[in-house]
Amino acid sequence: MTPYRVGVVVNPVAGLGGAVGLKGSDGAAVQAQALRRGAVPRAGARAALAVGELLSRLTASRVDLLAIAGELGADAVRLAQAVPARELELPRSGDGADTRAAVRALVEAGAQVVLFAGGDGTARDVLAVRPVVPVIGVPAGVKIHSAVYAVNPRAAGEVAAAFLTGRAGVRAAEVVDAGEEGSPRLYGELCVAALATRIQQRKVGGTVADPDSVAGIAAEIGALIAGGDLVVLGPGTTTRAVAAALGLDVPVAGVSAVDRGGVVAADVGADELRRLVRGRLAWIVVSPTGVQGFLLGRGNQQISPEVVRDVGPGRLLVVSSEAKLATLGGRPLLVDTGDEQLDYEISGFVRVLTGYGSTAMYRSAT
């Protein structure tokens, strides 16, 4: 029987900042400060838990662990009392480039799935490589907003084992990290191995992939498009999944415009949007950011107050699955377009399209 091949990479500085009260661990200065304050690296130990779990679930099979040498992977494998089948030596640069090079090397070496230990910054580096095999995040960082992480380290091993033995599927999951001003920003999606209850969902409420509501929302939006209208799609997993259900491929992180003829423009800015909606019946479709619930003004500034006014505030369509709305925990949806009058007009109650023939009457506030 051919052995299973699992790649292991650790971001050794992930999580350094957390234990000593810093908001993250990105950047050499923060890491040095953390070490000065007495932080103890823990990413390797967390990765070892995942590896141990993986092996304990596949005792009947041969598992070849491919690991980057030293604290970037192999040490964690040994900590789990296992021996790497291959140790890949890589030049080190001490920053995110290490993670990127490591994931590339592991995929090239034939890994069927890659376990990576880190936080949101690490996930962005993995995303940059666009690996062709599924990955699973072992949560070890300070910031874990991305939906690519398992709910805990052992769960990552459990999911990897389930994936290798055909008991878990894959799905697209969001990579989110703090942008400027600390508000979460969506960077893109990674293909992760997933078991429903083992992969983190809640933090960003991001991965809404509730197939029923996506298909239902898509049917409603599709009817607008079929009627000849232009539809401006804000960023996010929901809007992207809705577009995909309509056979349209739009980038997850940008604003796009679609109509009967297909994608009119992808990843466009405010001026371009104003030009596109001029003289046309148009709709703006946005999905709230998870947890915080921003409709406008965070991560989608391209949909400027002028664009909203050109289209008409009454033609702002909010879409979300009921589950994602629930992650707001009762807090209102938020608008902060920079145009107070417009924010006021949008606040009150909005009808959120939650599925086919379904809306939620939900509070919004400025």
Partner 1 sequence: MNRGDEAAAGRTGSVNGVPAGSPGRIAAKPALRRFHQARWDEKLIFELSSPGERGVLPPLPDAGVREVAGDPVADLPAALRRSTPPGLPEMSQLHVLRHYLRLSQENLGVDLNVDVGQGTCTMKYSPKVHDRLVRSAKLADLHPLQDEETVQGVLEIIYRLEQMLCEISGMDRMSLQPGAGSAAIYANVAMIRAYHESRGEAGQRDEVITTVFSHPSNAACAKTAGYQVVTLYPDADGYPDLDALKAAVGPRTAALLITNPEDTGIFNPRIHEFVRIVHEAGGLCAYDQANANGVLGITRARDAGFDLCHFNLHKTFSTPHACGGPAAGACGVTAELARFLPGPVVDFDGTRYTLTTPQDTIGPMRPFHGVAPNLVRAYSWITSLGAAGLREVAEIAVLNNNYLMKRILEIKGASAPYAPGRRRIEQVRYSWRELTEETGVGSHDIGLRAADFGTHYWTSHHPHIVPEPFTLEPTESYSKADLDEYAAILAEIAREARENPETVRTAPHNSTVHRNREDTLDDPSAWAVTWRAYRRKHVAARDR
The contact set with partner 1 (CB under 8 A) reads 151-152, 154-155, 158, 167, 169, 196-197, 202, 210, 321-323, 325-326, 330, 348-349, 351, 354, 356-363
Structure tokens given for 155: 């769960």
How far is it, in rounded angstroms, from Cα 291 to Cα 187? 17
> Which of 72, 156 has the CB closer to partner 1?
156
Q: To the nearest whole angstrom, how small is the minimum distance from the Cβ of residue 31 to partner 1?
A: 26
DSSP string over 312-330: -GGGEEEE--HHHHHTTTT
Q: To the nearest whole angstrom, how small is the minimum distance from the Cβ of residue 178 to partner 1?
A: 20
> Which of 260, 351 has the CB closer to partner 1?
351
> Which of 263, 360 has the CB closer to partner 1?
360
> Which of 33, 366 has the CB closer to partner 1?
366
Q: To the nearest whole angstrom, how small is the minimum distance from the Cβ of residue 317 to partner 1?
A: 14
Paired with 114 in beta bridges are 7, 135
Residue type (1 letter), 55:
L
> Which of 136, 232 has the CB closer to partner 1?
136
Q: To the nearest whole angstrom, how small is the minimum distance from the Cβ of residue 232 to partner 1?
A: 24
Q: To the nearest whole angstrom, how small is the minimum distance from the Cβ of residue 150 to partner 1?
A: 9
Helix ranges (DSSP H) in the chain: 28-36, 43-57, 74-79, 96-108, 120-129, 153-164, 211-226, 237-245, 270-277, 305-311, 322-326, 340-346
How far is it, in rounded angstroms, from Cα 306 to Cα 237? 25
Per-residue CA distances from 287 to 78, 232, 237 (Å): 44, 12, 9
Q: Which residue has the tokens 């007495």?
A: 38
> Which of 21, 169 has the CB closer to partner 1?
169
How far is it, in rounded angstroms, from Cα 47 to Cα 138? 6
Q: To the nearest whole angstrom, how small is the minimum distance from the Cβ of residue 154 to partner 1?
A: 7
